[in-house]
């Protein structure tokens, strides 16, 4: 990256880091079971809610218990179940239309990151009816209070239940972008492992590694606080302890609960301390090819850590200790390599590959420029890279024949 742009990025990041103590971060209230939702809504004086979910979650019957207890408690329910992975602008606008037509007063995002992000994006449009999603993309563009929002993750996870972000994709350009503002932090997060019981191993694996990437990228970045460093280390400990177990036996509720907790901690760590180029590159890939975010992120993570080199050895040593693959006595460089190796091994054990077959050479330049736009100057990454330098990650994970 040229020195002028690098200086601009670092100045911008320094400003944001200095502002952290003054920014209105808040934690959602936590519920341990969906059974607690009706009484909570009544306490808030809410009698008409919109459930935002997807057809497969609903088809599996995962939302049926909540739907039943809401109806039983005379809470009017509107269901929008057309969310797809990577919610499009069209989907968010359609759900907003239903919300307004039915006079809803609150949102429940029930599902993976896409359903929760869709609910949060609907909330943004309700708060700012004059704006388009594109207007609200980027940092701090919403400002106004969004409707009361409950997030129920069925994956562990994107961390969307605690973050300031909602990611949407413009279906015409393929550009995936995030709305990031404090009103998007849900009011309530329901961490109920029962909702993740039927999650297939491949989704458990991808979303679990996404959680790991949140903690790792937050920890190695330049905007950590004491709290986010602790959260990231606890998250890494939990992922290395429980992810393999949750993938092998979906009914292992202790592992499922551990992963939900990890997701929440990782989500909170990165909402304050940001992610990095793993996410910037991953978003550009899933925007272009509609790939699952977790798996793409998992594949990219070791490549990006290797590219940062010795600059992040001290942080990787701490992460290696949290993961249980190094001790205080281990040499820094060795511990760093052990951590990257442990990430690769965990990927392999839970069935995640090392390449992204969807990548087409002709798309790399455009995707790298999207990643550059997302990452710079916002993400306080340990080593700055511009679009040209970011292209390496697409070539390294490229497997096609064109
Ligand atoms: Fe992520």
CA of 163 to the centre of ligand 1 (A): 11
In-domain check, residue 392: yes
Whether residues 358 and 278 fall in one domain: yes
Whether residues 154 and 213 fall in one domain: no
Question: How do beta strands 148-153 and 165-170 pair?
Answer: unpaired
Burial class (CB in 10 A: 0-12, 13-18, 19+), 377: middle
How many helices and strands (H and E) does the chain possess?
A: 16, 9
- Closest to 319 in 3D by CA, of 231, 213, 237: 237
Whether residues 124 and 220 fall in one domain: no
In-domain check, residue 402: no
As for how many domains the chain has, the answer is: 2
CATH number of domain containing 108: 3.40.50.1970
Whether residues 330 and 343 fall in one domain: yes
The range of the structural domain enclosing residue 57 comes to 32-196
Measured between alpha carbons, how far is 377 from 13 in angstroms, rounded to an integer? 7
CA of 74 to the centre of ligand 1 (A): 36
Which ranges constitute the DSSP H helices of 177-291? 201-220, 226-248, 253-273, 277-289
CA of 378 to the centre of ligand 1 (A): 16
Dmax over CA atoms of the chain, in Å, equals: 63
Which of 179, 196, 213 is where one domain is finished?
Answer: 196
The DSSP letter of residue 146 is P
CA 214, distance to chain mean position in Å, is 7
In-domain check, residue 390: yes
> Distance of CA 305 to CAs 86, 208, 210, 267, Å?
25, 18, 14, 19
CA of 167 to the centre of ligand 1 (A): 10
Whether residues 220 and 351 fall in one domain: yes
Which of 162, 196, 230 is where one domain is finished?
Answer: 196
- Predicted confidence pLDDT, tens digits, the chain (402 residues): 999 999 999 999 999 899 888 888 888 999 999 999 999 999 999 999 999 999 989 998 999 999 999 999 999 999 999 998 879 999 999 999 999 999 999 999 999 889 999 999 999 999 999 999 999 998 889 999 999 999 999 987 778 999 999 999 998 887 888 899 999 999 999 999 999 998 899 999 999 999 999 999 999 999 999 999 999 999 999 999 999 999 999 999 999 999 999 999 999 999 899 999 999 999 999 889 989 889 999 999 999 999 999 999 999 999 999 999 999 999 999 999 999 999 999 999 999 999 999 999 999 999 999 999 999 999 999 999 999 999 999 999 999 776
- Closest to 261 in 3D by CA, of 210, 193, 203: 193
In-domain check, residue 50: yes
CA of 384 to the centre of ligand 1 (A): 20
CA of 108 to the centre of ligand 1 (A): 21
**332-349 and 293-308 helices, crossing angle to 10°:** 160
Helix %, strand %, coil % of the chain (to 5): 60, 10, 30
Whether residues 241 and 380 fall in one domain: yes
CA of 246 to the centre of ligand 1 (A): 19
CA of 158 to the centre of ligand 1 (A): 5
CA of 294 to the centre of ligand 1 (A): 6
CATH number of domain containing 257: 1.20.1090.10
Whether residues 143 and 185 fall in one domain: yes
Q: Which residues on neighbouring strands pair with residue 54, listed in sequence order? A: 82
Whether residues 156 and 189 fall in one domain: yes
CA of 128 to the centre of ligand 1 (A): 26
CA of 279 to the centre of ligand 1 (A): 6
In-domain check, residue 273: yes
CA of 283 to the centre of ligand 1 (A): 9
Whether residues 335 and 366 fall in one domain: yes
Whether residues 112 and 47 fall in one domain: yes
Owner of token pair 């903690």: 215
In-domain check, residue 27: no
In-domain check, residue 246: yes
Backbone angles phi, psi at 271, to 5 degrees: -70, -30
CA of 46 to the centre of ligand 1 (A): 31
Which of 178, 196, 214 is where one domain is finished?
Answer: 196
In-domain check, residue 26: no
Whether residues 247 and 312 fall in one domain: yes
**Are 107 and 152 within 8 A, CB to CB?**
no
Is the model's pTM score more than 0.75?
yes
Whether residues 46 and 173 fall in one domain: yes
């Amino acid at each position: 990256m040229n020195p002028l742009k690098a200086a601009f990025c670092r100045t911008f990041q320094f400003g944001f880091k200095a502002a952290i103590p003054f920014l209105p971060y808040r934690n959602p209230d936590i519920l341990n079971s969906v059974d607690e939702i009706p009484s909570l809504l009544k306490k808030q004086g809410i009698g008409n809610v919109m459930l935002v979910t997807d057809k497969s979650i609903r088809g599996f019957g995962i939302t049926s218990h909540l739907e039943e207890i809401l109806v039983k408690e005379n809470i009017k329910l509107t269901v929008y179940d057309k969310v797809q992975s990577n919610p499009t602008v069209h989907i968010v606008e359609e759900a907003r239309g239903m919300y307004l037509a039915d006079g809803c007063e609150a949102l429940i995002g029930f599902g993976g990151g896409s359903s929760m992000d869709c609910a949060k994006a609907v909330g943004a449009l309700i708060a700012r009816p004059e704006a388009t999603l594109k207007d609200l993309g980027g940092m701090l563009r919403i400002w106004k209070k969004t409707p009361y929002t409950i997030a129920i993750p069925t994956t562990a996870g994107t961390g969307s239940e605690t973050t300031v972000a909602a990611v949407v994709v413009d279906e015409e350009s393929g550009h995936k972008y995030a709305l990031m503002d404090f009103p998007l932090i849900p009011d309530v997060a329901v961490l109920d492992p029962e909702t993740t019981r039927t999650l297939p191993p491949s989704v458990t694996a991808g979303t679990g590694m996404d959680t790991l990437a949140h903690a790792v990228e937050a920890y190695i970045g330049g905007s950590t606080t004491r709290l986010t460093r602790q959260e990231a280390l606890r998250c890494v400990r939990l992922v290395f302890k429980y992810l393999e177990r949750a993938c092998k036996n979906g009914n292992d509720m202790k592992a499922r609960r551990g992963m939900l907790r990890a997701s929440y901690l990782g989500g909170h760590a990165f909402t304050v301390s940001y992610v990095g180029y793993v996410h910037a590159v991953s978003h550009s890939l899933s925007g272009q090819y509609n790939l699952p975010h977790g798996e793409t992120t998992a594949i990219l993570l070791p490549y990006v850590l290797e590219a940062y080199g010795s600059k992040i050895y001290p942080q990787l040593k701490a992460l290696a200790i949290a993961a249980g693959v190094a001790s205080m006595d281990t040499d820094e460089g060795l511990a760093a390599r052990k951590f990257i190796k442990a990430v690769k091994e965990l990927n392999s054990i839970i069935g995640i590959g090392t390449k992204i077959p969807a990548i087409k050479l002709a798309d790399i330049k455009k995707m790298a420029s999207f990643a550059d736009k997302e990452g710079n100057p916002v993400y306080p990454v340990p080593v700055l890279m511009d679009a040209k330098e970011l292209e390496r990650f697409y070539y390294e994970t490229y497997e096609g024949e064109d």
